[in-house]
Amino acid sequence: MDSLAREILDLTLEHLWLVIMAILIAAALGIAGGILLTRRPSWRGVVLGFANVMQTIPSLALFGFLIPVPLIGGIGKHTAILALVLYALLPILRNTLTGILGVDAAVRESAIAMGMTNRQLLWEVEVPLAARTILAGLRVATVTTIGTATIAAAIGGGGLGVFIFRGLASLDTTLILAGAIPAALIALIADGGLGWAERKFFIA
């Protein structure tokens, strides 16, 4: 039993590592991409379309598709993180875009008429006012990534999915729960924490 507890801890940390890396990369790409899309309306269809399509691919299939891909694919953690990034991208990208486009037109017009540069408009007005929406996207992405990351074990990515797949193979419910319960707890804690941050960012 002691060795099981030890393994739960190790796999939980591994799971967290997958999720944190994936969310950091997806946040960087998604927020930067979302901001870029507010300045390049003609790119919106293509980029959002790509992110949408990624979401529709069943997760087990996406992990599988990446295995034969040279350089970025293969077996192991980096492939798993790549797949998780592709899933997490859409909610972050979309919320960044809608958050910034949702800034009151009168506020934006004032900022421009006061002589703000494009950069000042973005960082002093648009991003702060969209922060709450962007954070909401980040929250959705994080919670779903924590669940999806259990599939990383299928391509040798490790994490709590290792227990789940082992339990499925040996018809051992205890093992499945040893993977599922910690994953659910991480998701609840992340959801609560990011929800709290969202409320702190509340702007009337």
Partner 1 sequence: MNAVVAFRNVSYRIGNRQLLHDLSFELYPGETLVLLGRSGSGKTTALKMVNDLLRPTSGEVLVEGVATTVWDPIRLRRRIGYVIQDVGLFPHFTIADNVGLVPRLEGWLPSAVRERVDTLLGQVGLPHEQFATRYPRELSGGQRQRVGVARALAADPPLLLFDEPFGALDPVTRVELQRQFTTLQLKFNKTALFVTHDVREALLLGSRIGLLHNGRLDVLATPAEFLHASTPEAQAFLACLDLKKDA
Cα 39 from chain centroid (whole Å): 23
Q: Please say which residue, 117 or 174, places its beta carbon nearer to partner 1.
A: 117
By C-beta, is 111 or 164 nearer to partner 1? 111
User: DSSP character for 122?
Assistant: I
For residue 62, what are its two tokens? 């996406």
**What is the rounded distance in angstroms from the CA atom of residue 164 to the CA atom of residue 105?**
50
The one segment of 5-13, 20-28, 102-110, 164-172 that binds partner 1 by CB under 8 A: 102-110
One residue of 42, 71, 115, 169 binding partner 1 per CB under 8 A: 115
- Is residue 172 a contact residue for partner 1 (CB under 8 A)? no
- Can you tell me which of 66, 111, 151, 194 binds partner 1, judged by CB under 8 A? 111
Confirm or reject binding of residue 10 to partner 1 (CB under 8 A): no
Q: What angle do CA 91, 136, 197 make, to 5 degrees?
A: 145
Interface residue with partner 1 among 128, 170, 174, 199 (CB under 8 A) is: 128
Q: Which stretch binds partner 1 (CB under 8 A): 35-43, 47-55, 80-88, 100-108?
A: 100-108
117 binds partner 1 (CB under 8 A): yes
Tokens coding 166: 């082992």
- Do 83 and 18 form a contact (C-beta atoms < 8 A)? no
Which residues contact residue 8 at a Cβ distance below 8 angstroms, ignoring those fewer than 6 apart? 163, 178, 182
Identify the CA nearest to 143 among candidates 194, 72, 77: 194
Does position 101 bind partner 1 by CB under 8 A?
Answer: no
Query: Judged by CB under 8 A, which stretch of 9-17, 42-50, 114-122, 136-144 contacts partner 1?
Result: 114-122
- Torsion from C-alpha of 42, 82, 21, 135, nearest 10 degrees: 30
Does 202 engage in binding with partner 1 (CB under 8 A)?
A: no
**Interface residues with partner 1 (CB under 8 A)?**
104, 106-117, 120, 124-125, 128-129, 203-204
